Structure 1
Amino acid sequence: MRNGAQHVGECSSSTSWSSHQDTEDDQMIAVVLSEEFSKLDGAVARRLSGLAPVPHVPHINSYIPSLHDASLDHQRLLERLHVYGLYEVKVSGDGNCQFRALSDQMYRSPEYHKHVRKDIVKQLKDNRNLYEGYVPMKYKRYCKKMAKSGEWGDHVTLQAPKKKHWLF
């Protein structure tokens, strides 16, 4: 996600999280990010410090959303991104989309997705003890599967990028 906008989907029944808690979470995230980015970019820090939270209404997927519901959810996503001065960036949906998105964030281009995938798989292999408990299959098989181009990333691969690679 970078600065500007574009599309996603919605869900249905809301959970019990309050908008107040989400607002506090957003403010805490803004403070942490502000401190981290203040050394790199004063403008980002100032923008995040003045964060005006957008109420968040979490949902649970209990049905396939209608086009109308998906449009409403997408609009809420765009509003939340706008709060942070970010925008949605579309990437090719070829099974490498998570890695393309990470590449876009780390290297300002989705074209390095193969390098990002390779780096993530190396991180997974080198730190088995950190990730194995979150993998629903034999760990070696999982790593081999994730090394294949076109294999969808998941919650584990999203946790594996090394922070030192991030440009911002």
Structure 2
Amino acid sequence: MMTRNGTQSIGECSSSTSASSQQDVEDDRMIAVVLSEEYAKLDGALGRRLSNLAPVAHVPRINTFIPNPSDATLDHQRLLQRLNIYGLYEVKVSGDGNCQFRALSDQIYRSPEYHKHVRKEVVKQLKDSRPLYEGYVPMKYKHYYKKMAKSGEWGDHVTLQAAADKFVAKICLLTSFRETCFIEITPQHQTPKRELWLSFWSEVHYNSLYDIQDAPVHKPRQKHWLF
């Protein structure tokens, strides 16, 4: 509705903004589905390269320990050495609290920009399958998944398990830890349909991993190129 001076009313502007935001979310969802199906066909090469590594069993847990800067620096150097040894390339994602979801988004959709969609799907998995995860969370479970729904909240090993279950994927972590080089997170009740590879630095940051020969070149995000 127009006011007497020819401008839109506040209510109409708010409604228009809300509709636009909802359309953006729906566009993202549709693009994400198509990209996921397309890039799932490319899995496997990196797993073959690291087939000699013996994985450590994964135990879901929340974040409880953050290393001091000195230990974190040493861990980062160790991780870089491992990346060089195995010929791996890191797609570095923003350290804004969403890095786990950005790295997962990059592996699934070849872009870290769908991290909000990934977080939403992981939180839905946590809510819908509460018995699978509640025992690993030493706090009120509802408080936990509501906290995880907030942008900027760090993902943990419980959200990694939920992501593996939700996306029916084996999540492989190449870590900076001295005695735990390689961790696998597998779906609890399904055979994985794909592999997602992340680097994990000192409990504080995740990046997306590729064989160095397959290192992707990310282009600016285009929301409507499929239509």
TM-score normalised per structure 2: 0.44
Q: How far is the alpha carbon of 1:44 from its aligned partner?
A: 4.2
1:70-112 CA-partner distances (Å, limit 9, x unpaired): 4443232122234444233321122211111111122111100
> Which of 64, 68, 72 pairs up with 1:64?
68
The residue that corresponds to 2:152 in the other structure is 150
For 1:109 and 1:62, locate their aligned partners in 2 and report how far apart those are by CA, in whole Å: 27
Instruction: Structure 1: state its 5+ residue gaps.
Output: 1-38, 54-60
Which structure features the higher share of strand residues? 2
Tell whether the 8 Å contact from 2:43 to 2:194 is kept in structure 1 after alignment.
no
Contact 1:106 1:167 survives alignment (8 Å): no
Show structure 2 runs of 5+ residues with no match: 1-40, 55-64, 170-192, 196-227
Which structure's residues are more often helix, by fraction?
Answer: 1
Matches within 5 A, 1:127-138: 127-138=129-140
Residue pairs, 1:1-168, within 5 angstroms: 43-44=45-46, 46-49=48-51, 51=52, 64-66=68-70, 70-161=72-163, 162-164=166-168, 168=195
Distance 1:139 1:79, change over 3 A: same
Shift, 1:150, TM fit: 1.5
Give 3-state SS (helix, strand or coil) of 2:89's partner: coil
SS at match of 2:90: coil
CA distance in 2, matches of 1:132, 1:52: 31
Question: What residue identity is the alignment partner of 1:121?
Answer: V
Change over 3 Å in CA distance of 1:42–1:113 after alignment to 2: closer
Q: What is the percent sequence identity of the aligned residues?
A: 77
Structure 2: distance between partners of 1:97 and 1:89: 11
1:160 is paired with a residue of what secondary structure?
helix
- Structure 2 distance, partners of 1:125, 1:62, is 27
